[in-house]
Amino acid sequence: MKVLIVGSGGREDAIAYKVKQSQLLSKLYCIPGNGGMAKKGEVIEGKISDIPQIAKDLGIDFIIVGPEAPLVEGIVDKCRTYKIPVFGPDSKGAQLEGSKVFAKNFMKRNNIPTADFYVASGYDEAVSYIEKYGLKAIKADGLAGGKGVVIPQDLESARDTLYRFMVEKRLGVSGERVVLEDILVGREISCFIITDGKDYILLPSAQDYKRAYDGNKGPNTGGMGSVAPIAMSEDIQKKIRERIIERTLEGLEREEINYRGVIYFGLMLVDRDPYVLEYNVRLGDPETQAIIPLIEDDLLELFYETTVSRLPKVNIKLKPMYSCCVVLASSGYPEHYEVGKEILGLEEVSECIVFHAGTKLTGDKLYTSGGRVLNIVGIGESIESAREKAYKCVSKVRFENMFYRRDIGEGVKDID
Ligand code: AMP
Ligand code: GLY
């Protein structure tokens, strides 16, 4: 099978690593890829909108999409007309991530626990709501590359955020409407399923470290590290399955959305009860980098069968291990950072898996090309031993202005 992976992050390099192990693969292509993917398959240049035609010209049998934007823009719908199967939901299903207003109303209609909310379509309306009802989480309706959610500390910063989103339109049309929702306090966790719309496989749950600096300080990023699996009591797992996952799948079916692909549930556990903070319609980054090395099954086969037929099984085979992923970033990320720095020391890393993100292979040298550069994944018999391995490997790698968090996987507690 000729497979094309769309995307250029650590998540996509991890998918490529797993797909490469499949007996079904004959050739791997990546658009736009990165320095790691360039060593696993052939990197193709091209715009997202040209992918259906490019895939047809290359004789691609199956496309796996990493990021959300192509799914929300309807890559699955377009490829359908070319008869090329794509793993992921069509544009109707992708609204779960593409529109927070759609997602919140969907949850309300289908009795899925989520924070109470109000949708505001204008700046004055939004400001009077928070003045009357107090501080709320502010969420831009549309995709915003991780910049669309703000948890304000006071009314003044809430007004500023609303002004930037709704008057200055810093996020374009994505910020024209906002969801104002109650701020929840609890433990956050990322849960993932693979589904054919009826059955589902629950992947190992993971914890993401969103803030830039140690101790969960500093600005929000795409994610500076992750650990998996997070052990959960039977009781919590049951609540997540029954109240969240199964009601979501039943709701999609009721609303005639034929969803195939991944659903990522961003959950907050408040007093042992799970609430949905957000839906995403793809795997998480960097959670995927921690989860994929734990999977024994053939992921390509799972993805392909789920897309063209039915989910072939409902349980996934996992290694009885833990993983810890540390992201090596360029200093200044998530704001301004320099690129083009040579990456050294990778050949000394033998005990960990390295997934590339913002790297570029030029000749046989590797250079930085993005904010998040590399993912170093340690695997061990506990989170602590996975963490120790990861940091041992991190110490071997260097590039100018490299920075990373030193507390990934520290003191992670089970959920009981
Ligand atoms: P989202 O993109 O909706 O997951 O939001 C990004 C981050 O904002 C989440 O990972 C949470 O840390 C935080 N967040 C989102 N919604 C809420 C909420 N209602 N209460 C508290 N924190 C939230
Ligand atoms: N790790 C957060 C995300 O993928 O959205």
DSSP symbol at 91: T
Question: How far is residue 307's CA from residue 39's CA, in Å, rounded to a whole number?
Answer: 27
Which ligand does the CA of 284 lie closest to?
2
| 406: in domain | no
| 112: in domain | no
Domain that holds residue 344: 322-394
Ligand 1 proximal residues by C-beta, below 6 Å:
115, 137, 139, 149, 151, 181, 183-184, 188, 210, 266, 277-278
Q: Clarify whether residues 352 and 390 are in a common domain.
A: yes
Q: Clarify whether residues 276 and 379 are in a common domain.
A: no
Q: Clarify whether residues 202 and 300 are in a common domain.
A: yes
User: What pLDDT shows up at residue 146?
Assistant: 86
Q: Clarify whether residues 194 and 282 are in a common domain.
A: yes
Q: Among 149, 189, 281, which is best to mutate for testing ligand 1, by the most ligand atoms less than 8 A from CB?
A: 149
Question: How far is residue 156's CA from residue 145's CA, in Å, rounded to a whole number?
Answer: 24
User: What pLDDT shows up at residue 286?
Assistant: 98
Say how many domains are in the chain.
4
Taking each helix axis as running N to C, give the angle between helix 10-20 and helix 299-308, from 0 to 180 degrees, rounded to the nearest 10: 100
| 99: in domain | no
| 103: in domain | no
Own/partner long-range contacts of 331-335 (Cβ < 8 Å, ≥24 apart): 331/401, 331/402, 331/403, 332/371, 332/401, 333/212, 333/221, 333/371, 333/372, 333/403, 334/146, 334/212, 334/219, 334/220, 334/221, 334/222, 334/371, 335/219
Protein residue with least CA distance to atom 16, ligand 1: 277
User: What pLDDT shows up at residue 31?
Assistant: 97
Q: Among 151, 181, 264, which is best to mutate for testing ligand 1, by the most ligand atoms less than 8 A from CB?
A: 151
| 100: in domain | no
Identify the domain boundary among 181, 206, 227.
181
Q: Among 101, 268, 270, which is best to mutate for testing ligand 1, by the most ligand atoms less than 8 A from CB?
A: 268
Which ligand does the CA of 289 lie closest to?
2
| 51: in domain | yes
User: What pLDDT shows up at residue 360?
Assistant: 95
Q: Clarify whether residues 298 and 326 are in a common domain.
A: no
Question: Which CATH number characterizes residue 77's domain?
Answer: 3.40.50.20
Q: Clarify whether residues 73 and 174 are in a common domain.
A: no
Tell me which residues of the chain have a pLDDT lower than 70: none
Say yes or no: CB of residue 285 within 6 Å of ligand 2. Answer: yes
Considering only CA atoms, give the Rg of the chain.
21
Say if CB 178 and CB 125 are below 8 A apart: no
Q: Clarify whether residues 169 and 278 are in a common domain.
A: no
User: What pLDDT shows up at residue 387?
Assistant: 98
Say yes or no: CB of residue 97 within 6 Å of ligand 2. Answer: no
Task: Please state the pTM of the whole predicted model.
Answer: 0.97
